[in-house]
Structure 1
């Protein structure tokens, strides 16, 4: 069962890929992000290692992304040698370790010029080196076209397929730091709202941090509006207890699942055969009833094909889905406390639906990032029915949407 993981492992990337180049090229795009990490500094060319730091650290990074004509949405073009070529590769224009004061100054400048003052926090998954997390997050921000302040939280993963146990312990080691970061963002008067996107094992540290916040403060801070759990490597029984501890009101929760996720199949065996949240069939019981009762939106990506050999990163590697994730933020949909639901919130995503950007399918699949405004909700049922085979979703109302309460492999 480990063989597919080895076959899909990252191969031969040169050290120092984050060393900045002198300039980018015409047509290239840039993504600026602030990074908070519990990793230790690297002694080599790479900025941070997979070891655990004694204190949180911060960095400012600007990533240059090749012109659209030289890449496919959803892909990360890695340099084959250093320095990379900004015409064809992801490279950095700036990569500086900074102290917390400088990081805060960067954030204040960026949030002031961001419409609706929105923040997107990304937490990567197992087997991720520092540069993996940086480039993947840059790809998601760029391809989603969401006008948000990007904040990367990266924890000490060794980027080694055989270091699963170490990575799991490192995720737990980092939950206090993530809780403090989210608290800092959520209590900042300049921040309008926060969305969280976690992948794989990053869902564990995310849910644990939110659980701690809820227990400590009797709630999850209201500015944390949306929590998107992509391929969550979380025991389904533990998720039930975490969900209960989050209390109500809580953030809008969206889960990306895929029954053909080979990485989570291995994880299931490692953890004694207990189902992983990211691999469940949302149409089967008891999951269906639990998702409906808890008003959790589930996007089933099982029928969606991407180039990912493990079927573990579909949400980021599908060109259309990653654009849909950012559609609501980019379009500035109003977050409301609407009284109407969107059916039973279990949505089957197919290749047909994923190609329907700008149609009702695009509206439905972007549900995890924002709650529909009243006008959109009024027309949603008819639009989905018109799509027919593009989206399979029942239309029974489940009551009010929750709009209260800031991986990647």
Structure 2
């Protein structure tokens, strides 16, 4: 059997005094904060996920399964050690493209909203997520794959998802496939995967943040590639956690290179791990022709409280009180659509979201309001 690791959802009990410590100048203190928070968390709904081999395609086809093709643009390097990883945690100077089709077992054989990781890859498609196909693409092949996806499913809307902190490549692919499938989203799913360490611990937070801040131009490049396809009429950006830093940088980069992207209609920032002032400044720089921006936040978000500590005590955009000043006035001035999800219930506030913004956003809202997860974030880390 392949080596496995536990990935658990943890109970929100980490808003302790230690979480408000200022970590600057003392790495050990930051790690103590993280360790204390993680020790306090109650493990629940733990699933085992393999360390290797997840993206090796299965040769077994089961009729009742659902096939979800995910198109991918990434700034990760190709993996040289694990063919079932495809792309590693190391950054690349050039964009790479790929397509992975994920097979999802029938709803009656699984818990909707969760990934059933194969205990031993390639897995059993009757009860586990498995990789049906996986392959690298060049830029031309990527464009053709977008066109084919649009024609095959009679779709003209693309949704670009940008994952957050602490995500491996296979984590992001499987999570996005699950999200699109369970939400029954009528979109062409495109994943942008930046080289997060996905190390399963908070020690990589600063590294991930630095890499995220350098990934915006590449995401803007992917946006241009999707937008240039005549089969795509509308694009929605959905970013999670630290991925929202990448997204804002991409939008600023696009503006600096020639203005807005008419096909980009909505940008949804879910539990954004960004300083409030940084966000307001970035949005203001986008100008009046920017897409509609939805902000989905929760004041009981444990992951963002830990991020606040790791960020030197700076309040994160995703857990402000939007009714308090100066937040309320600044958000109103920038015409940000705000959804405060505090105390909505469910077991994971860091991944709850959304009210109606458009037809696609309304469907996203339904999934996230039911406790849908969007990534492996700070409160769900475990030793890997």
Stretches of structure 2 lacking an aligned partner (at least 5 in a row): 1-32, 377-384
- Is contact 1:146-1:327 (8 Å) kept? no
Q: When the two structures are superposed, what TM-score results if normalisation uses the length of structure 2? A: 0.79
Stretches of structure 1 lacking an aligned partner (at least 5 in a row): 316-320, 333-348, 356-406
- Is contact 2:284-2:334 (8 Å) kept? no
Instruction: Give the equivalent residue in structure 2 for 1:18.
Output: 55
Q: Could you give the per-residue CA deviations for residues 16-75 of structure 1, whole angstroms, max 9, x where no partner exists?
A: 111111123232111111111000111222111111123211111100111111223221
Instruction: Give the equivalent residue in structure 2 for 1:250.
Output: 290
Please give the alpha-carbon distance, in whole angstroms, between the structure 2 residues aligned to 1:330 and 1:252. Answer: 11
Q: Which secondary structure does the structure 2 equivalent of 1:2 belong to?
A: helix
Moved more, 125-134 or 207-216: 207-216
Please give the alpha-carbon distance, in whole angstroms, between the structure 2 residues aligned to 1:83 and 1:207. Answer: 37
Matched ranges for 1:77-156 at <5 A = 77-115=116-154, 117-156=156-195
Q: When the two structures are superposed, what TM-score results if normalisation uses the length of structure 1? A: 0.75
CA drift of 1:113 comes to: 4.3
Moved more, 240-249 or 285-294: 285-294
- Is contact 2:162-2:244 (8 Å) kept? yes
CA drift of 1:187 comes to: 3.2
Is residue 225 of structure 2 the alignment partner of residue 184 of structure 1? yes
Instruction: Give the equivalent residue in structure 2 for 1:170.
Output: 211
Rate the CA distance shift 1:62–1:325 in 2: closer, same or farther, 3 A. farther
Rate the CA distance shift 1:64–1:113 in 2: closer, same or farther, 3 A. closer
Rate the CA distance shift 1:354–1:47 in 2: closer, same or farther, 3 A. closer
Please give the alpha-carbon distance, in whole angstroms, between the structure 1 residues aligned to 2:185 and 2:358. Answer: 7
Please give the alpha-carbon distance, in whole angstroms, between the structure 2 residues aligned to 1:152 and 1:289. Answer: 34
Q: Could you give the per-residue CA deviations for residues 197-235 of structure 1, whole angstroms, max 9, x where no partner exists?
A: 000000000000101111221x32111000000110011
Please give the alpha-carbon distance, in whole angstroms, between the structure 2 residues aligned to 1:301 and 1:264. Answer: 14
Is residue 314 of structure 2 the alignment partner of residue 282 of structure 1? no
Please give the alpha-carbon distance, in whole angstroms, between the structure 2 residues aligned to 1:66 and 1:325. Answer: 29
Instruction: Give the equivalent residue in structure 1 for 2:71.
Output: 34
CA drift of 1:293 comes to: 2.8
Instruction: Give the equivalent residue in structure 2 for 1:201.
Output: 242
CA drift of 1:115 comes to: 4.2
Rate the CA distance shift 1:24–1:299 in 2: closer, same or farther, 3 A. farther
Please give the alpha-carbon distance, in whole angstroms, between the structure 2 residues aligned to 1:130 and 1:11. Answer: 17
- Is contact 1:146-1:326 (8 Å) kept? no
Give the counterpart of 2:278 among 206, 231, 238. 238
Moved more, 158-167 or 285-294: 285-294
Matched ranges for 1:277-356 at <5 A = 277-308=317-348, 311-315=349-353, 328-329=359-360
Moved more, 1-10 or 260-269: 1-10
Give the counterpart of 1:66 among 88, 100, 105. 105
Please give the alpha-carbon distance, in whole angstroms, between the structure 2 residues aligned to 1:408 and 1:225. Answer: 24
Moved more, 14-23 or 110-119: 110-119
Please give the alpha-carbon distance, in whole angstroms, between the structure 2 residues aligned to 1:251 and 1:226. Answer: 5
Instruction: Give the equivalent residue in structure 1 for 2:7.
Output: none
Higher relative contact order (CA 8 A, sep 6+): 2
Please give the alpha-carbon distance, in whole angstroms, between the structure 1 residues aligned to 2:248 and 2:358. Answer: 25
Please give the alpha-carbon distance, in whole angstroms, between the structure 1 residues aligned to 2:156 and 2:125. Answer: 30
Q: Which secondary structure does the structure 1 equivalent of 2:190 belong to?
A: strand
Number of residue pairs aligned between Structure 1 and Structure 2: 331
- Is contact 1:32-1:60 (8 Å) kept? yes
Q: Which secondary structure does the structure 2 equivalent of 1:84 belong to?
A: coil
Please give the alpha-carbon distance, in whole angstroms, between the structure 2 residues aligned to 1:216 and 1:5. Answer: 43
